[in-house]
């Protein structure tokens, strides 16, 4: 865990309300770990969401959790969570004197924050809204005709915008054409003390003998993850190298993955573990991480694997090439290229020296480029910048950021 220390470079201590999706998913994991790190550095953090975030321990000094209760009314076939969230944001801002609201994932969080800000216009005109774009809020949901106008509006009404990769920054600017929007790239991060292979004795040892290679996939099993491809790549590898596949997580396509396992006759070699909060001890026992996604704005799970010394076999999709160095810390192939991914995996598993070199480089590169300490410092700096701006209420849209990465 990070040490308690002052905010980076003497930034002021802030009171921040963080809203995220609290159940499984990279954006919720990142938002929670950011909140924990900020609290360790002396800031006051208020999570405002419908459930305690899954990576939030029961008690951490300077962290508070405010549950959003949507309530029930017979007339509401669709209970208005967005409005209940706005009301809670408004209330927590007033009762705890928040400086800013930090929304992770645009829809509906940035929209609710805008409503809360309008409600605070006379009492707290100084409240600022920062929105971090994570991925499908832009690439899938935000482009659906039913959400596109409100996504664009909410983005434009945020005081500050960050995106987790250069890919997502460009995608947002081109998709929404919001020329007034300036988006700071602040990549995701890992805590190097948690994702450290040497810290854990492999908990898979009881199930898997030392000659068997462990391939792993961690996700929320949504269509974008292409979990059937995970099984297909593995089945090819398993034909030639003694190996098992460990599938961590759950979601709509789990049944598909299980069907593929049966169709390919690899039931004895594939373990579905379901949702697991702490993946670091599992990653420490893995030889390869598979992430054959259709699109991935960043790939936090890939970063956690790399930091754990697990080379990644994935796709050259979205922001993944910004995280995985092709041929150095893993291998990236075109989406759907099962043969290519299987060949890369086999090549590496058969060459232990190369695997060791790649594993070491993966851990080092992840620590250097995506270190918790420095990335949290970027958020602190961004908060400072957002707080220094005139509000969008007065000027009508997101503004230029201090260090543009476009």
Q: Three-class SS of residue 192?
A: coil
x/- letters, 286..325, toward ligand GMT (CB under 6 A)? ---------xxxxxx-------------------------
Encode burial over 47-83: b for 16+ CB neighbours within 10 A, e otherwise. bbbbeebebbeeeeebbbbbebeeeeeeeeeeeeebe
Among 136, 169, 392, 401, binds ligand GMT (CB under 6 A): 136
- Span 152-211, contacts to ligand GMT by CB under 6 A: 164, 188
Q: Nearest Cα to 136, choosing from 18, 17, 21, 279?
A: 21
- Among candidate residues 124, 135, 127, the one with its CA nearest the CA of residue 220: 135
| Alpha-carbon span 11 to 382, nearest angstrom | 10
Could you give the CA distance from residue 128 to residue 391 in angstroms, rounded to a whole number?
A: 7
Judged by CB under 6 A, which stretch of 69-77, 130-138, 354-362, 369-377 contacts ligand GMT?
Answer: 130-138
Minimum distance from CB of 226 to ligand GMT (Å)? 11
The string over 5-23, giving b where at least 16 C-beta atoms fall within 10 Å of a residue's C-beta and e elsewhere, is eebbeebeebbbbbbbbbe
Q: Which of 7, 17, 28, 314 binds ligand GMT (CB under 6 A)?
A: 28
From the CB of 332, what's the least distance to ligand GMT, in Å?
A: 14
| Two tokens, residue 204 | 């898979």
Near ligand GMT by CB under 6 A: residue from 11, 14, 19, 21: 21
Choosing from 2, 14, 18, 30, the residue that interacts with ligand GMT (CB under 6 A) is: 30
Pair of tokens at residue 229:
């491809």
Q: How far is the CB of 208 from ligand GMT (least distance, A)?
A: 27
Nearer to ligand GMT, 135 or 292 (CB): 135
SS3 314: strand
Task: Specify the residue for token string 């954006």.
Answer: 27
What binding mask, one character per residue, do residues 240-279 give for ligand GMT by CB under 6 A, x or -?
A: ----------------------------------------
- Based on CB atoms, which residue is closest to ligand GMT, 188 or 401? 188
Local structure of 121: helix, strand or coil: coil
Q: Which stretch in 39-47, 78-86, 128-136, 144-152 sits in contact with ligand GMT by CB under 6 A?
A: 128-136
Considering the complex, state which of residue 224 and residue 338 has its C-beta at the smaller distance from ligand GMT: 224
> Residue count at the site for ligand GMT (CB under 6 A)?
19
Give, as ranges, the residues between 42 and 101 that touch ligand GMT (CB under 6 A).
none
Tokens read off for 120 = 């605070």
Report the residue from 7, 17, 26, 311 that binds ligand GMT according to the rule CB under 6 A.
26
**In 3-state terms, what secondary structure has residue 193?**
coil
Distance, CA of 212 to CA of 357 (rounded, Å): 19
103 binds ligand GMT (CB under 6 A): no
For residue 245, the number of C-alpha atoms closer than 13 Å in the C-beta half-sphere is: 30
Of 68-76, 78-86, 131-139, 356-364, the window that binds ligand GMT (rule: CB under 6 A) is 131-139
Return residues touching ligand GMT (CB under 6 A). 21, 25-28, 30, 134-137, 164, 188, 224, 295-300
């Amino acid at each position: 865990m990070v040490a308690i220390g002052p905010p980076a470079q003497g930034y002021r201590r802030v009171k921040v309300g963080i809203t995220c999706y609290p159940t499984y998913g990279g954006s919720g994991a990142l938002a929670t770990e950011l909140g924990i790190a900020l609290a360790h550095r002396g800031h006051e953090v208020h999570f405002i969401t419908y459930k305690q975030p899954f990576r939030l321990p029961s008690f951490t000094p300077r962290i508070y959790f405010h549950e959003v209760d949507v309530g029930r009314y017979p007339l509401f076939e669709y209970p208005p969570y967005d409005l209940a969230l706005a009301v809670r944001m408004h209330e927590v801002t007033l009762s705890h004197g928040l400086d800013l609201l930090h929304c992770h994932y645009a829809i509906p969080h940035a929209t609710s924050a805008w409503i809360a800000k309008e409600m605070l216009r006379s009492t707290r005109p100084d409240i600022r809204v920062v929105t971090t774009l994570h991925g499908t809020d832009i690439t899938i949901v935000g482009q659906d005709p039913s959400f596109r106008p409100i996504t664009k509006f909410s983005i434009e009404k945020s005081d500050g915008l960050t995106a987790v990769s250069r890919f997502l920054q460009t995608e947002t600017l081109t998709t929404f054409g919001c020329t007034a929007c300036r988006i700071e790239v602040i990549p995701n991060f890992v805590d190097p003390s948690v994702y450290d292979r040497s810290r854990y004795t492999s908990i898979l040892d009881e199930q898997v003998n030392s000659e068997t290679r462990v391939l792993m996939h961690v996700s929320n099993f949504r269509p974008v993850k292409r979990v059937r491809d995970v099984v297909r790549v593995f089945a090819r590898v398993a034909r030639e190298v003694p190996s098992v596949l460990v599938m961590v997580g759950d979601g709509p396509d789990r049944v598909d993955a299980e069907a593929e396992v049966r169709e390919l006759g690899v039931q004895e070699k594939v373990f579905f573990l379901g949702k697991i909060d702490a993946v670091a001890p599992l990653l420490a026992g893995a030889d390869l991480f598979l992430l054959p996604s259709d699109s991935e704005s960043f790939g936090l799970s890939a970063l956690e694997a790399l930091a754990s010394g697990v080379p990644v076999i994935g796709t050259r999709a979205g922001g993944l090439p910004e995280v995985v160095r092709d041929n150095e810390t893993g291998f990236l192939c075109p989406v759907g290229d099962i043969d290519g991914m299987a060949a890369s995996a086999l090549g590496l598993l058969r060459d232990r020296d190369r695997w060791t070199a790649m594993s070491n480089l993966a851990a080092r590169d992840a620590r250097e480029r995506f270190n918790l300490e420095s990335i949290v410092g970027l958020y602190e700096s961004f908060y400072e910048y957002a707080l220094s701006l005139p509000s969008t209420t007065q000027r009508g849209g997101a503004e230029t950021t201090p260090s543009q990465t476009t």
